[in-house]
């Protein structure tokens, strides 16, 4: 089935809006006209909302799940094009992400993950393309360069942040840690400029922007250090946990398990294509209104919508001033993620950085398509930002510019682009950007505001998780938290008898 989300371009068919995915749900609703008030309404069917809806329905609560899109998964979903999964958003998972891995084991999907990298065949090099020239190096040299640059950037206390952020789930535990949120990545780069080689600086800046999707000025140094701490304070951990393991059949093959299990409880009602516009809490009951004026009532609401679009919903009574400030500030991530299928069949082991002059800065070989072509995944962000669908020839040029002319010849031509697949997260009315990444000050001032419950409305989302904030794992962490709060409030004394 085809979702209206996403784009697919090929030379023969041109640009098509909407791509096939197993995440699209039909029928789009199982709600009947004479529903009684629910125990809980969950708004948003990303991993957070799916986890909350599943847990609450398994606990015996009557649940309504409302979703603005025609599919599950929110910012993590995969398209299946000719049987091949392209990850449109969230992709990589790791056993160090304990909430995610627990769910992978629950659904017995541990044999369904595979590596993105494959350094075994074809072109086995890393191309670094900066205004100073092109350097082609082995992957061992690439790792050495990146590790050296990242170690210099993160070594704020002689032990790579271990003393400053000793417990990343309690990120502001030390005073020194809170101070890091007052400065940007750019400030930190300026501090260590004299000890960075030009190549280190280039790969470091590209790596920072790959993490934040913002600019160096809008990237909180603290949040970068929080990621680093979650990855075990090492470059190898960074690589392993952030960008190595993905699902063979795509993220939607994972998300659908949560939805199916909730449905099997027979206590889940759902409605897709149902954007919520208004949430009114009279203290005893909450009324949720959709944009097309349908109204639903429940004792509790779990809002699982992301930070950057929460201000499109009105809340009555109004949200606290702290929450409203966070909604105004927003996160800064405007990542552009573009999959390219390339005619060259030998690029499976290729990686490249073209920075800072290109619209796409970072790319890796990510798979081999059914046609035997190489699939690479490319990333850009706020800097030189593009809307890839607006000018396909520019997007193609940005992909091709990742391959420096001097590595190719008539007998060994530069790769031609056979297909582009992407989701424009910046223009997405239900996301307003990619994964959460904070500007300086947002977390130290407003993390608790973002997490706070408002009357009978529980706010949950990966964007304000404590651990793997901005990851799938953080979404599951938050879905668990929200379902637990609701369960405790509604089941009261019975709460002590867990049934999950």
Among 126, 430, 437, 459, binds ligand FAD (CB under 6 A): 430
| 159 annotated as ligand-binding | no
Among 148, 207, 335, 438, binds ligand FAD (CB under 6 A): 335
What is the rounded CA–CA span in Å between residue 123 and residue 110? 30
Query: Judged by CB, which is closer to ligand FAD: 61, or 255?
Result: 255
Query: Judged by CB, which is closer to ligand FAD: 352, or 467?
Result: 467
254 touches 107 (CB < 8 A)? yes
45 binds ligand FAD (CB under 6 A): yes
CB of 430 to ligand FAD, least distance (A): 3
Query: Judged by CB, which is closer to ligand FAD: 68, or 352?
Result: 68
Tokens of 223: 């949040």
What is the rounded CA–CA span in Å between residue 88 and residue 56? 28
Query: Judged by CB, which is closer to ligand FAD: 185, or 476?
Result: 476
Query: Judged by CB, which is closer to ligand FAD: 352, or 433?
Result: 433
Query: Judged by CB, which is closer to ligand FAD: 90, or 214?
Result: 90
Among 399, 472, 482, 484, binds ligand FAD (CB under 6 A): 472
CB of 243 to ligand FAD, least distance (A): 7
294 touches 86 (CB < 8 A)? no
Query: Which residues lie across from 115 on neighbouring strands?
Result: 245
Question: How many residues interact with ligand FAD (rule CB under 6 A)?
Answer: 40
24 backbone φψ class: left, alpha, beta (φ>0; ψ -120 to 50): beta
Please report, for residues 51, 239, 246, 273, the alpha-carbon distance to residue 115 in angstroms, rounded to integers and kept in the order given: 26, 12, 6, 34
Q: Collapse the DSSP code of 302 into the 3-class scheme (helix H, G, I; strand E, B; otherwise coil) and give the result.
A: strand
Query: Judged by CB, which is closer to ligand FAD: 109, or 475?
Result: 475
What is the rounded CA–CA span in Å between residue 460 and residue 42? 10
Cis before 204? omega within 30: no
461 binds ligand FAD (CB under 6 A): yes
What is the rounded CA–CA span in Å between residue 46 and residue 76? 7
402 binds ligand FAD (CB under 6 A): no
| 471 annotated as ligand-binding | no
425 binds ligand FAD (CB under 6 A): yes
66 binds ligand FAD (CB under 6 A): yes
Round to the nearest angstrom and report the end-to-end CA distance of the chain: 32
69 binds ligand FAD (CB under 6 A): yes
99 binds ligand FAD (CB under 6 A): no
337 binds ligand FAD (CB under 6 A): yes
Query: Judged by CB, which is closer to ligand FAD: 135, or 335?
Result: 335
Which span sits near ligand FAD by CB under 6 A: 46-54, 153-161, 224-232, 491-499?
46-54
Nearest CA-CA partner of 379 in 404, 352, 406, 397: 352
44 binds ligand FAD (CB under 6 A): yes
Among 6, 23, 90, 365, binds ligand FAD (CB under 6 A): 90
CB of 355 to ligand FAD, least distance (A): 19
Contacts of 60 (CB under 8 A, 6+ apart): 267, 491, 499
Other beta carbons within 10 Å of 314: 13
Other beta carbons within 10 Å of 225: 24
450 binds ligand FAD (CB under 6 A): no
Helix (H) or strand (E) holding 399: helix 392-400
Query: Judged by CB, which is closer to ligand FAD: 156, or 377?
Result: 377
184 binds ligand FAD (CB under 6 A): no
Contacts of 498 (CB under 8 A, 6+ apart): none
Nearest CA-CA partner of 417 in 374, 355, 381, 384: 374
CB of 460 to ligand FAD, least distance (A): 7
Specify binding-site residues for FAD.
276
Q: By the criterion CB under 6 A, which residues form the site for ligand FAD?
A: 43-49, 66-69, 74-76, 89-92, 275-276, 304-306, 309, 312-313, 335, 337, 425, 430-431, 434-435, 461-462, 470-473, 475
Specify binding-site residues for substrate.
379
């Amino acid at each position: 089935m085809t979702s209206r989300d996403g784009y697919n371009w090929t030379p023969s068919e041109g640009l098509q809006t909407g791509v096939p995915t197993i995440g699209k749900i039909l029928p789009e609703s199982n709600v009947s006209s004479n529903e009684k008030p629910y125990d809980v309404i969950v708004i948003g069917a990303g991993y957070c909302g799916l986890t909350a809806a599943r847990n609450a329905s398994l606990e015996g609560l009557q649940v309504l799940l409302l979703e603005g899109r025609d599919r599950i998964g929110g910012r993590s979903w995969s398209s299946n094009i000719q049987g091949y999964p392209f990850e449109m958003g969230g992709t990589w998972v790791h056993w160090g992400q304990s909430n995610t891995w627990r769910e992978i084991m629950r659904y017995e999907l541990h044999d369904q993950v595979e590596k993105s990298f494959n350094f075994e065949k074809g072109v086995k090099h890393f191309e670094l393309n900066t205004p100073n020239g092109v350097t082609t190096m082995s992957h061992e040299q690439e790792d050495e360069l990146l590790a050296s640059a990242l170690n210099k950037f993160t070594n704020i206390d002689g032990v790579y942040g271990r003393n400053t952020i000793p417990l990343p789930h309690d990120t502001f535990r030390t005073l020194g840690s809170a101070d890091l949120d007052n400065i940007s990545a750019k400030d930190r780069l300026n501090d260590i400029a004299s000890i960075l080689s030009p190549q280190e600086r280039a790969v470091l800046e590209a790596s920072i922007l790959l993490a934040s999707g913002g600019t160096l000025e809008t990237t909180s140094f603290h949040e970068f250090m929080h990621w680093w701490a979650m990855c075990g304070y090492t470059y190898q951990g960074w690589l392993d946990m952030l960008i190595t393991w993905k699902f063979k059949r795509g993220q939607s093959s994972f998300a659908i398990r949560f939805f199916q299990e909730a449905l099997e409880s027979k206590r889940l009602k759902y409605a897709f294509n149902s954007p919520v516009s208004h949430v009114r809490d009279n203290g005893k009951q909450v009324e949720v209104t959709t944009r097309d004026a349908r109204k639903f009532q429940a004792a509790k609401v779990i809002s699982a919508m992301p930070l950057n679009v929460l201000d499109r919903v009105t809340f009555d009574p109004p949200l606290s001033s702290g929450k409203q400030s966070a909604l105004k500030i927003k996160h800064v991530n405007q990542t552009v993620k573009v999959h390219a299928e390339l005619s060259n069949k030998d690029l499976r082991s290729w990686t490249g950085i073209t920075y800072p002059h290109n619209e796409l800065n970072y790319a890796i070989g990510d798979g081999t398509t059914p046609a035997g072509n190489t699939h690479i995944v490319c990333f850009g962000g706020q800097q030189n930002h593009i809307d890839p669908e607006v000018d396909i020839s520019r997007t193609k040029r940005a992909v091709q510019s990742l391959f420096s002319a001097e590595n190719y010849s008539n007998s060994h031509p530069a790769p031609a682009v056979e297909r582009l697949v992407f989701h424009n997260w910046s223009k997405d009315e239900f996301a307003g950007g990619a994964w959460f990444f904070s500007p300086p000050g947002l977390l130290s001032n407003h993390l608790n505001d973002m997490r706070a419950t408002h009357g009978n409305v529980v706010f949950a989302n990966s964007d304000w998780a404590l651990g793997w904030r901005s990851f799938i794992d953080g979404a599951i962490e938050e879905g668990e938290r929200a379902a637990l709060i609701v369960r405790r409030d509604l089941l009261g004394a019975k709460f002590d008898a867990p049934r999950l």
